[in-house]
Amino acid sequence: MSVKEWPVAERPREKLQLQGAQFLSDAELLAVLLGSGRQGQDVVTFARKLLHHFNGIGPLLVASREQLLECDGIGPARVNQLQVVMELSRRYLKWQLERTDGFTEPSLVKDFLTAKLRHQSRELFVLLLLDSQHRLLHYEELFQGTINAAPVYPREVIKLVMKHNAAAVILAHNHPSGVAEPSQADQRVTERVKKALNLIDVSLLDHFVIGAGAPISFAERGLL
């Protein structure tokens, strides 16, 4: 049966108009985005199968172009749709953080870093440079590779801080293995960077580790 033959209140587009997006399931939202299903399969069923295949909306939205194109019914145009949605969400979070009160809400910082780092297949070490009001000035991917294998040179951090006239810094890196627990190497690097920043009166506010679960905050753990 086509979605057009469903009761009006059960059709995703009509439900969106009548009740609002917050009342739609993940499958219904995805169905509205996709617009149509594939041969022999209505769009809601198709959306449910995609969500099942990727194990949820998050993994679907961060999937690579190659992974998406492996799915029947997904072509270049639909890949573009999904990737645009993810990029818009990242830019919205960045905008939120650039507002005056952005970094007074740790959950926004965690959401932003999760969107940036969780889907990465390689380890990235990044800096968030902030002004005196803790607004985001600049996001910098400092290096790729494990902290043990790729040294973090405090002078490179200082150079970026001076270039952007930052007043505070947040560090972050991801663990592609999914385990976000900070390692001893993570703690050593954090201490080195903190000591270097102290010499120029710049605060290290936090160091986040992004894995498969909730981000780990050094500040919340008392590790700073």
**CA dist., res. 148 & res. 152, Å (int):** 9
DSSP 8-state symbol, 181: P
Count the alpha carbons within 13 Å of 106 in the hemisphere toward its beta carbon.
Answer: 12
Mean pLDDT of 166-184: 88
Q: Which amino acid is at 60?
A: L
Arithmetic mean of pLDDT over the chain: 86
- Which one-letter amino acid corresponds to residue 66? E
Q: At residue 134, does pLDDT exceed 60?
A: yes
Give the per-residue pLDDT at 167. 94
| pLDDT score, position 130 | 92
| 20-33: pLDDT as tens digits | 989 999 999 999 99
Task: With a cut of 90, say whether residue 172 has pLDDT above it.
Answer: yes
Model confidence band, residue 6 (pLDDT cutoffs 50, 70, 90): confident
> How far apart, in whole angstroms, are the C-alpha atoms of residue 59 and residue 51?
9
- For the chain, the distance separating the N- and C-terminal CA atoms, rounded to the nearest angstrom, is 59
Strand partners, 204: 169
Higher pLDDT, 72 or 177: 72
SS3 1: coil
pTM: 0.68
pLDDT tens for each residue of 94-126: 787 676 565 666 788 888 888 888 878 788 899
* Contacts with 149 (C-beta within 8 Å, 6 or more apart), sequence order: none
- CB-based contacts of 98, cutoff 8 Å, min separation 6: 135, 136
For the chain, give the percent of residues with pLDDT over 70.
92
The per-residue pLDDT for 165 is 95
Kindly report, residue by residue over 32-84, the tens digit of the pLDDT: 999 888 888 889 999 999 999 998 988 888 788 898 999 989 999 999 999 99
